[in-house]
Chains A and B, each alone.
Chain A
Amino acid sequence: MLVVKKGSAGKRGNNIRSDCFVEIELTKGKGIRSSLQSKVNSMYGQNINDLIITMCDFFEIKHAEILVEDNGALPFTLAARFEAAYKKLRPDDSREFLPSMNKNNFYLTQKDRMRRSRLYLPGNEPKFYSNAGLHKPDGIILDLEDSVAPSEKDSARYLVRNALCSVDFYGAERMVRINQLPMGLNDLKFVVPHNVHVILIPKCESAITVKDVEEEINMIKAMNNISAAIYLMPIIESALGVVKSYEIATASDKVCALAVGLEDYTADLGVERTNEGRESFYARSTVVNSAKAAGVQAIDSVFSDVDDMEGLKASVLEAKALGFEGKGCIHPRQIKVVHDSFAPSEKEIEKARKIVLAFNEAEKNGLGVVALGSKMIDAPVVKRAQHTINLAILNGLLDKNWNK
């Protein structure tokens, strides 16, 4: 058997920011010898050394050479890199060194909450974490899948886990995109215990995949006494996925939305992805239709040209017209454009106001039937009007006390 002597994790080099590189070599005797090079040495050198000692104590590391090259990593990153390096040496050690849960990170979500924008953060890039929520996306996705190189999957899991504990996402829905199954099942124990709200299931092609994920989540929840619901957002990214989209959307009552991923889908079809998107029209329409048939949200793919805000706007308006309620974002500046483009028009708001007022009036008078002018209004219409009102308030187009 090959005995691994040195374990390392993290990033090193001149251009690295807010990250660090940790290398641990277990030695015989001589105690803990650590060497720290940090660009914040004068400010946090002591603090970093204390963390190293604390973690050595925690994992009962008695003798080791430890090298830390730090480019301003925050404590949650330092701890994640240390643990990832250590676990390469002792993969069977199941103890976890968890940062304490940020007091702001206990908020919950709802199945039908607004999901207009969801910002992807690469799982192994800590520099984007702390400020992501300031840009006010509806959701933040910590991505363990495509943005993480295969060799970095382990490191990214510790980082994402620590981020879920430490980083304040300022009210954004806390999402994680796991890897494709079966690897993705192993991701879950790193995130489920730490108030994750939604799990995104990539390249989903069957109801069984959804059920497998749900089962694993339920098991981890039971072990950790977690009662809060964790929702699922399968991503349809293949021809087969499109065909099975209704089955997927209805596989579990925890499915809150169906998303479509067009990079992989167009690759699967063997065609180029265009801005016009004619090649994916069928897929997008089918996903919307399956989602609506299942009573869940439909979420559109990302728009990948981060400099083209006009193109993004056009893309969102088209998505909205097709029935999508949300769009993926890969840059924070896309968020506002997405929100503005999903915002209802003045005409839509006015109509919604009338419907909701008529409904409230009818309810107050104990009438079972609601009429607006000569038209009868049924429940789904009222629900859609209420949704429009909520969107208008969120976008600052309507005062939240509009009906007072």
Chain B
Amino acid sequence: MKLIKNAVNRLIPTIINGEKQIPFKGVDKFKSSGRIASLQIRTCADYPSDGNKEVKSLKDALKKAGLKDGMTISTHHHLRNGDQLTNILFDTIHSMGVKNIRWFPSASFPCHSYLIRYLRDGTIHHIEGSMNGPLGKFTTEGKMKGVGVLRSHGGRYQSIQDGEVHIDIAVIAAPTADPFGNANGVNGKSACGGIGFALADSEYADKVIVVTDNLVPFPCVPWQIQGNNVDYVVQVESLGDPSKIVSGTTEMTKSPDRLLIAEYIAKFMDEAGIVKNGFSYQAGAGGTNLAVILFLKEIMKAKGIKARFIRGGSTKYLVELLEEGLTDYILDGQTFDLDGVRSMRENPNHVMTTPFTSYNYHGKGNFASMVDATILGATEVDVNFNANVVSHSDGYLLHGIGGWQNCLYSKCTIIAVPSFRDRIPVILDEVTTLCGPGELIDVIVTERGIAINPKRKDLLNAVKNSSLPIRSIKEIQKEVYEICGGAPAKPKVDKKKVVAVVKWVDGTVLDSVYRVVT
């Protein structure tokens, strides 16, 4: 495998799974000149005029869709760790004797470690999406046949739209659908809120199969997925385990250190002048993020401030802000708990968004850059404010990118991380895998202090008289290295064996993940 250095000095392969790649050129430096993907023209006459596209089983639908070796099959991750459909889908593909599938999920979860058997036996050739937990371990140990490709949610939309990834068959799990193929995630026993991650799949795949465990007569409203894009509808007993699709309640962190980080972030946002009438921010559902919401809420209430919109990952904490009149809108990419699902169903100001509206880099703008502040996690950061979100310091893949890369375009991107985990320092000289270039990361908040990117002189100036612990990133790093007993050794990897690559939002290759030597 031939490796070259890209614009940020990371070694990357020029060809991945037989396809030629463009190396990362720098943030906003690469402009694609091609045309977006085109589709075969379809004709109503080829579809039942009564709108009934129901077929009796998933296997029948796959047969009718022309499933064969080497195809690209896509799924979405809105059912999260409760998803059973994807595992059943590959059981079915396996039973049909089909091999070398490129699996193209919008994300994977621990429940998908079941699929390792199909990676081993050649049913699945490789994964383009995310490789979490056991799938990450399997990949990083060099056991996957092809090279994994990690993309952000926006990058996934971009790759489909640009024709970089052509989906042969999209299998869309739909908590509610009608026989025409209209579908949504807000109703039914497997309700998960929005199903916006499947939008591009429905628009660009050759064949689209909607699978539901709650078939209703036409029309299924709202139609988050439009039946006009759908070929077949399959009814099944169950899509998955509702208790793992959304959590009943979202638990606030009790960790004093995370709470301290959250408190610092809320105060920083306030002192930096971000928290004012009409502001916006993006909150995830991680423990620290939820706590930030509560601290921000106190500040907003005390000062009589109302946000214009908040981007979620929605949870009951965001829903409370909406219902207590502290924000006009929730613009929601995915819904994490029952309160979120209820709110999206009932409240017109709780709006579903998609990777197209929020994150797609090859669009006429997107929402991510309009957000005043975004709070993100990371596995590692480095002294140049670069960050890693996919692998750990031992070299193993552990998480997907999610919307993380796309969110870096926010006006103030804040990374919330502990300064070390057990004995693992989080601020390094150089991140193990580069996922986010430092020029887009403005603030790193740890329990040992807040480091502001030196290029953000405006932020440095805004908090120069603050009582907050504003420190240089190297100073925090030095303190943590002293605690941990020096700088950690780099992971032992085989630099000749790339097991996965990280794509940037524009489709270029940002970094490589290597086989870990055990």
Contacts and interface: CB of A to CB of B under 8 A. Distances in A.
Given A43-B488, A131-B257, A18 B422 contact: yes
Given A43-B393, A331-B256, A134 B485 contact: no
A180 B260 CA distance: 35
B422 A134 contact: no
A75 B485 contact: yes
B486 A47 contact: yes
Contacts of B483: 74, 130, 168
A332 interface: yes
B395 interface: yes
A18 B485 CA distance: 13
B447 interface: yes
A351 interface: no
B489 interface: yes
A42 B448 contact: no
A74 B484 contact: yes
A257 B481 CA distance: 37
A331 B256 CA distance: 8
B494 interface: no
A333 B256 contact: yes
Contacts of B467: 396
A43 B484 CA distance: 10
B485 A44 contact: yes
Chain B contact residues: over half helix, strand or loop, or mixed? loop
B393 A135 contact: no
Interface string B484-518: 11101101100000000000000000000000000
The interface centre, meaning the residue of A43, A44, A332 with most chain B CB atoms within 10 A of its CB, is A43
Contact of B395 (A40, A42, A75): A42
B394 A43 contact: yes
A365 interface: no
A274 interface: no
Interface residues of A, number: 27
A134 B395 contact: no
A42 B260 CA distance: 30
A42 B393 CA distance: 8
A72 interface: yes
A46 interface: yes
Contacts of A331: 256
Contacts of B394: 40-43
A259 interface: no
Contacts of A135: 256, 260
B484 A44 contact: yes
A43 B424 CA distance: 8
Nearest to A45: B489
Contacts of B447: 131, 134
Interface in B378-435: 393-395, 421-424
Interface string B266-287: 0000000000000000000000
B260 A44 contact: no
B423 A44 contact: yes
A100 B491 CA distance: 29
A163 to B, nearest CB: 12
A39 B256 contact: no
A40 B256 contact: no
A223 B259 CA distance: 44
Nearest to A166: B483
Interface string A28-49: 0000000000011111111100
B423 A73 contact: yes
Nearest to A132: B256
The interface centre, meaning the residue of A45, A75, A131, A332 with most chain B CB atoms within 10 A of its CB, is A131
Contact of A72 (B395, B422, B448): B422
Contacts of A47: 485-486
A17 interface: yes
Interface residues of B, number: 23
Contact of A134 (B257, B489, B492): B257
A245 interface: no
A71 interface: yes
A323 B485 CA distance: 45
A134 B449 CA distance: 10
Contacts of A73: 422-423
A255 B118 CA distance: 71
Interface in A224-281: none
A40 B492 contact: no
Nearest to B486: A47
Interface string A72-89: 111100000000000000
B488 A44 contact: yes
A370 B387 CA distance: 62
Contacts of B421: 72
Contacts of A42: 393-395, 489, 491-492
Contacts of B393: 42-43
B304 to A, nearest CB: 22
A40 B257 contact: no
B423 A333 contact: no
A130 B486 CA distance: 15
B507 to A, nearest CB: 32
Interface in A354-404: 396
B422 A44 contact: no
A17 B424 CA distance: 12
Contact of A74 (B395, B485, B488): B485
A343 to B, nearest CB: 15
Contacts of A46: 489
A36 to B, nearest CB: 13
Nearest to A103: B482
Contacts of B485: 44, 47, 74-75
Nearest to B489: A43
Contacts of A45: 489
B489 A44 contact: yes
Contacts of B257: 131, 134
Contacts of A71: 422
Contacts of A168: 483
B260 A74 contact: no
A50 B87 CA distance: 47
Nearest to A333: B256
Nearest to A332: B256
B489 A39 contact: no
Interface string A46-82: 1100000000000000000000000111110000000
A403 B447 CA distance: 34
Contact of B260 (A43, A75, A134): A134
A333 B259 contact: yes
A55 B18 CA distance: 54
The interface centre, meaning the residue of B259, B394, B424, B484 with most chain A CB atoms within 10 A of its CB, is B484
Q: Which 8 residue pairs across A and B have the least CB separation, nearest first?
A: A72-B422, A43-B488, A332-B256, A72-B423, A75-B485, A42-B394, A18-B422, A40-B423
Given A43-B489, A131-B447, 5 more contacts: A40-B423, A72-B421, A102-B482, A131-B256, A131-B257
Interface of B: 256-257, 259-260, 393-395, 421-424, 447-448, 467, 482-486, 488-489, 491-492
13 contacts: A39-B422, A40-B423, A40-B488, A43-B488, A43-B491, A44-B484, A72-B422, A75-B485, A134-B447, A331-B256, A332-B260, A333-B256, A333-B259
